Amino acid sequence: MSQGFKRILTAGIAAAALLGGIASAQAGAFAIREQSAEDLGDAFAGAATGGSSLSSMFWNPATMTSHKGWQSTSAFSGILPYASIQSLNAISARPLNSGNIGVAALVPSSSSSYQINDNLWAGLSINSPFGLSTKADQPWNGGIYGQSSDVRSINIRPTLAYKINEMFSIGFGLDIERFSLHLTNLDPRASTTVDDLKGSSWGVGATAGVTITPVAGTEIGIGYRSQIRQNIHGTLSVASGLGGVFNVKSNVTLPDQINIGLRQKVTDQFTALAGFEWTHWSIFNKFPVVSTSGPSTGATLTSLGFQYRNGWFASLGGEYKYSPNLTVRAGLAYERSPISDVVRGVRLPDNNRIWTTAGLSYAVDKKLSFDLSYAHIFPASTNIAITSASNPSFLAAPLALSATVKSHIDIISVGLNYRWDDPKVLEAAPAQKAIVRKY
């Protein structure tokens, strides 16, 4: 491969760092898990361990110590969701079917790390941990509970990792996050009048992690991402009743998360992987939208109601080194959605689901490699029942809504990995004392 062609390919790494994408949420609720093309291929099993790609620093910053020298990785995930909502009762004169509310999206992410010395690494990643994009094809029967949704985030994370010894590494980082939302509802009457809420803010959080290598061939990773409080300021446009445009604010707390990964070398060619992710979605409950201007200053104009439960994601995977240059992988996962039957609405008709994934990596040489992965997600049979009983979306009688949902999701992800320094330099350095092998 010519040096000119390599430069063109690796330019994509820098480009990814400048992109902030809109995304359809493909983890529980509106979280986005698609931060790594390699890890998608094995259903993110073992993603919190350093043996996976450099993008594992999204789940655990301590994993940087597994990647020598100066390296970068970028991933671009194309998400193709389908979700159609069929109303079972008419609460307006609009069509009963929403059409496909899923919006195709491209999710970029980028990570880089630099080895300062034998024990210390510095890194930077840019990604989108939260996002949602849904839009009905036309004004529809359930539009009073959600006609369109647009939630975006860009997270900038500087990190440090320290290799204590051959068994333990630790890592820490700071999350600097831009968060924005734009939600529309239809007026309860048969018109096409739209109520509109939009706002944005910056928030700050933290991340930390540890990797443990008790014996050669076995690695355990544990990562934590903190809650981030977003003090959103924006506007609320109300078309009916008293009407008008109000300056508003709302304090939204995004959930913290724990990731655990296991990577076990079985043979020289095959590695088994396992992962578990727990997200504290129960803090995502109800957030008042308060006026900040005019005679209504201090008044709660509406509220964002969710009442989510904690969610989790468990996965198993494996990768097989078919040749020195080609690695193939596959994975299977089950996800418990934070959205239960009681609180499910039309903006995000999420449910428990099964993931099936496959992927491959190809190393051109010791500096350049590519990843390609595919996932298909099977949601459980899904119903919507918005009533006065407990659903936070309920407006007032007689506007109870019953509906069924048909949905599926396809994801295609490509990755580019590049090492900027010369691997031969570190390979020529004196090797540290090896730890005890068990095979």
* Cβ atoms of 164 and 170 closer than 8 Å: yes
Neighbours of 270 (CB within 10 A): 12
Cβ–Cβ under 8 Å, residues 122 and 160: yes
The pLDDT assigned to 302 comes to 86
Residue 143, CA atoms < 13 Å, CB-side half-sphere: 30
Residue 204: count of CB within 10 angstroms of its CB: 12
- Looking up tokens 């979605």 gives 281
CATH number of the domain located at residue range(s) 3-427 in this protein: 2.40.160.60
DSSP labels, 84-133? EEEESS-SSSS-SEEEE-B--EEEEEEEEEEE-SSSEEEEEEEE--B-EE
Burial class (CB in 10 A: 0-12, 13-18, 19+), 293: exposed
- Could you read off the pLDDT of 59-114 as tens digits, one per residue? 999 999 999 999 999 999 999 999 999 999 998 889 999 999 999 999 999 999 99
The pLDDT of residue 430: 53
Please state the separation of Cα 214 from the chain's center in Å: 30
Residue 427 burial (C-beta neighbours within 10 Å; 0-12, 13-18, 19+): exposed
State the Cα–Cα distance between residues 152 and 129, nearest whole angstrom: 9
- The per-residue pLDDT for range 121-145, each reduced to its tens digit, is 999 999 999 999 999 988 899 999 9
* Nearest of 185, 138, 133 to residue 401 by alpha carbon: 185
pLDDT at 390: 79
The tokens 């029942």 sit on which residue? Answer: 385
CA–CA separation, 76 vs 113, rounded Å?
Answer: 19
* Per-residue pLDDT in tens (0 to 9) along the chain, 439 residues: 444 434 333 333 333 333 333 345 556 678 999 999 999 999 999 999 987 789 999 999 999 999 999 999 999 999 999 999 999 999 888 999 999 999 999 999 999 999 999 999 999 999 999 999 999 988 899 999 999 999 999 999 999 999 999 999 999 999 999 999 999 998 776 566 788 999 999 999 999 999 999 999 999 999 999 999 999 999 999 876 656 889 999 999 999 999 999 999 999 999 999 999 999 999 998 899 999 988 889 999 888 888 999 999 999 999 999 999 999 999 999 999 999 999 999 999 999 999 999 999 999 999 999 999 999 999 999 999 998 877 888 887 678 999 999 999 999 999 999 999 988 766 555 544 444 444 3
pLDDT of residue 432: 46
> Where along the chain do its domains lie?
3-427
Q: Model's pTM, two decimal places?
A: 0.89
Phi/psi for 435 (5° steps) reads: -85, 165
Q: What is the pLDDT of residue 27?
A: 66
Tokens of 211: 């990797």
DSSP conformational letter for 176 = E
> Counting Cβ atoms within 10 Å, is residue 435 exposed (0-12), middle (13-18) or buried (19+)?
middle
Cis ω before 398 (30° cut-off from 0): yes
First to last CA, the chain: 37
What CA–CA distance (Å, rounded) separates 65 from 162? 7
pLDDT at 210: 98
Q: Evaluate whether 74 touches 109 at the Cβ level (below 8 Å).
A: yes
